[in-house]
A and B are shown apart, each in its own frame.
Chain A
Amino acid sequence: GESVGLHLPTLSVQEGDNSIINCAYSNSASDYFIWYKQESGKGPQFIIDIRSNMDKRQGQRVTVLLNKTVKHLSLQIAATQPGDSAVYFCAEPGNSGYALNFGKGTSLLVTP
């Protein structure tokens, strides 16, 4: 079936460095994608989304890039901080159109 997957299950970066979290998707018909951040003991928190008619979208310290040719999505975090340590999920609408298909998640660990 169609699914959303992540290349790297864990990522360790030093404080101040930039982080890149990748996501591969298989549903070419998806018209938007969402990145969520989940800290320990908390629910997934919306970070940023991007529509399929865009290649790039920037937020505060975060940038999402969408490459529809290779069905690849990435989340870039600038000047990573300890508070960025969390599990990051990419998500896309499922076949139903309302439910979200979540990837397995990438754990980001920021070291001092």
Chain B
Amino acid sequence: DAGVIQSPRHEVTEMGQEVTLRCKPISGHNSLFWYRQTMMRGLELLIYFNNNVPIDDSGMPEDRFSAKMPNASFSTLKIQPSEPRDSAVYFCASSPREPDTQYFGPGTRLTVL
């Protein structure tokens, strides 16, 4: 099993640019989560999908953030426009059912200059 796959692993961009992060969950898992991790705030849940449907996006910081899950094997998290305070590591996680153990991807380290 390849596990959760995320791309890119590192992203450096300038303030104001659009950033798109990608995630492929573990095959057969029907729950997908996007998290953000910073030293100050730890791991924060941004959005949760179940069967490709967004269930809870209350953790999305503001309208600059959006997430989609067009099918069971792919999800994107977009930031437009990006700001320096968005710099963090973004993790995607999936689980076979809710509630259950979540399996995390390697993360995308985002740096906004």
Contact = CB atoms under 8 A, between A and B. Distances in A.
Contacts of A99: 33, 45, 48, 56
Contacts of A53: none
B107 interface: yes
Contacts of A46: 101-103
A54 to B, nearest CB: 15
Contacts of A34: 101
Contacts of A89: 43
A105 B107 contact: no
Contacts of A42: 106-107
A93 B107 CA distance: 21
Interface residues of A, number: 22
Given A42-B107, A44-B91, A104 B99 contact: no
B82 interface: no
B75 interface: no
Contacts, number: 46
Contact of B48 (A36, A44, A98, A102): A98
A65 B103 CA distance: 22
Nearest to B44: A102
A98 B82 CA distance: 28
B61 interface: no
B43 to A, nearest CB: 5
A52 to B, nearest CB: 13
A28 interface: no
A62 interface: no
Interface of A: 32, 34, 36, 41-46, 49, 89, 93-94, 96-100, 102-105
Given A44-B43, A45-B104, 5 more contacts: A44-B91, A44-B104, A46-B101, A46-B102, A96-B56
5 contacts: A36-B104, A43-B93, A45-B104, A98-B56, A100-B102
